[in-house]
Amino acid sequence: MTQQFYVSPEQLMKDRADFARKGIARGRSVVVVSCRDGIALVAENPSPSLHKIGEIYDKIAFAAVGKYNEFESLRQAGVRYADVRGYSYDREDVTARGLASVYAQSLGAVFTAEQKPFEVELAVAEVGSSPDEDHLYRLTFDGSIADEKGFIVMGGQADKVSEAVAAGWQGALDFAGAIRLALAGLVADKETTTLPPSAVEVAVLDRGSESSRGTRRAFRRLEDADITALLAEEN
């Protein structure tokens, strides 16, 4: 019979955290920016069908970095949670805070109880009627939850990207400005200075979806042509 070595809980948690951090840093970054028009979500993602950004509910979107199978299962669980809640209570009773806390609990449980922690980092964004009422939550692999102001940068060389985004961020940006800022941030850790629209995935949560598009669902995915048109607008 093999002897089980003693590993201190501190060491065990540290090893797990290092393992998860390494997995997350290997990927490419995602930037979530709150601005005047709403919330812009921009991910470096060459695949047009395997999304890192998704719609959860009327005003709530999801963005993730890390292992696709892990965050995809979390995204689907989030959609189920939100739809069940909205169906059994009312649509306006579904909030980002409730969803983020469910995510935090699931990630925390996986981090301590499972063989291996999830190598993911999530952002849950909710657009409000004014920029002050926007909510951005960052969820890390161990179940920590943080309420962020203005923007979130996750994954890849997050420090460098975050620096670049922080330098240009202001609340008065429109969608074109916010997406331009996010794209400028995403190239901060690269040789190139621009990313083609086909290399990024962009979605927005429209602040005025009821008045501009006549729908409660604020989430809108931007196609390559939409991105090109939006960025071509006057600077």
Partner 1 sequence: MQETTANQVAANATSSFTEHLQRQRPDLLPFGQLPFGQQPSAQQFPAGNAATPLQAPHGTTIVALTYAGGVLMAGDRRATMGNVIASRHIEKVFPADQYSVLGIAGTAGIALDITRLFQVELEHYEKIEGTLLSLDGKANRLGAMVRSNLPMAMQGLAVVPLFAGFDRPAGMGRLFSYDVTGGRYEEQEHHTVGSGSMFARGALKKLWRPNLPERDAVSVAVEALYDAADDDSATGGPDPVRQLWPVVYVVNRTGAFRVPERELAAMAGAIIESRAVAQREA
Residues of this chain that interact with partner 1 (CB under 8 A) are: 49, 51, 54-56, 76, 79-80, 83-84, 86-88, 217
In the bound state with partner 1, the residue whose beta carbon lies nearer, of 165 and 218, is 218
In the bound state with partner 1, the residue whose beta carbon lies nearer, of 140 and 209, is 209
In the bound state with partner 1, the residue whose beta carbon lies nearer, of 181 and 227, is 227
Q: How far apart are CA 78 and CA 70, in angstroms?
A: 13
Contacts of 188 (CB under 8 A, 6+ apart): 157, 160, 161, 163, 164
Q: Minimum Å distance from CB 219 to partner 1?
A: 9
Element (H, E) at 43: strand 38-44
In the bound state with partner 1, the residue whose beta carbon lies nearer, of 88 and 192, is 88
Distance of CA 12 to the CA centre of its chain: 28
Q: Minimum Å distance from CB 76 to partner 1?
A: 6
Contacts of 21 (CB under 8 A, 6+ apart): 141
Q: Minimum Å distance from CB 56 to partner 1?
A: 7
Q: Minimum Å distance from CB 189 to partner 1?
A: 29
Q: Coil, strand or helix: which one is 81? A: helix
